Chain A
Amino acid sequence: NAGVMQNPRHLVRRRGQEARLRCSPMKGHSHVYWYRQLPEEGLKFMVYLQKENIIDESGMPKERFSAEFPKEGPSILRIQQVVRGDSAAYFCASSPGQGVRGETQYFGPGTRLLVL
């Protein structure tokens, strides 16, 4: 499967625990994006990363949320001390990063986080 991979597909956490969501971009893609979708809403941009760099984190909550895209390995979205309001579907997307204006982002299947 050469598509964007996300794991786990489903994650259950209790309030106060940490959630780690992983995303492996499509082969050859160097740009990764994270989006969050709350029930009955559209996708909301969170953060845009290139390898070892955060390019745009304007959509990321200032506290408890962090993201990284290391030189080796998947991109990680980390949510510390989760609260019930963090329950959502988190989608990762990747793009080739060729500098094409508005290049298409290819989405993974998402991780559905449930905070009890």
Chain B
Amino acid sequence: DQQVKQNSPSLSVQEGRISILNCDYTNSMFDYFLWYKKYPAEGPTFLISISSIKDKNEDGRFTVFLNKSAKHLSLHIVPSQPGDSAVYFCAASAGNYGQNFVFGPGTRLSVLP
């Protein structure tokens, strides 16, 4: 049973437009969420995180929104750039220490010039 779901395997966006990547989770104990970006043949790179006490966190072109009642979070990239083309993983953690991250299957973003 997948606790973290990313229902869109892929997404294509025009350069300069907004990219919206979605993530849903089922475990109500999750209280910390992260987004990682991964290029081919490299390890995932941390992008942005959000705690469940917030509903929004912003870092430059990246904004993560959290809707706890819907168990849904999204990553917005504005404006999208060709270098943003990668696989994006949503991850969640729970528990006192929360070091065990549960990852979604990823969404492959292609930003077209």
- A residues lining the B interface (CB < 8 Å): 4, 6, 31, 33, 35, 40-45, 48, 55-56, 58-59, 91, 93, 95, 99, 101-110
Contact with A along B4-43 (1 / 0, CB 8 A): 1010000000000000000000000000101010000111
Contact A43 to B103, CB < 8 A, known contacts A101-B32, A102-B32, A102-B98: yes
Q: Which residues of B contact A (CB under 8 A)?
A: 4, 6, 32, 34, 36, 41-46, 49, 51, 89, 91, 93, 97-106
User: Out of A42, A56, A95, which one reaches B89, CB within 8 Å?
Assistant: A42
Q: Which of A93, A95, A104, A106 contacts B49 (CB 8 A)?
A: A104
- Residue with the highest number of chain A CB atoms closer than 10 Å, among B43, B93, B100: B43
Nearest Cβ in chain B — how far from A24, in angstroms?
13
Contact A91 B100 (CB under 8 A): no
Choose among B36, B100, B105 the residue that contacts A40 (Cβ–Cβ < 8 A): B105
Across-interface contacts of A105 in B (CB, < 8 A): 46, 99, 101
CA distance A101 to B95 in the complex (A): 9
B62 to chain A, nearest CB (A): 14
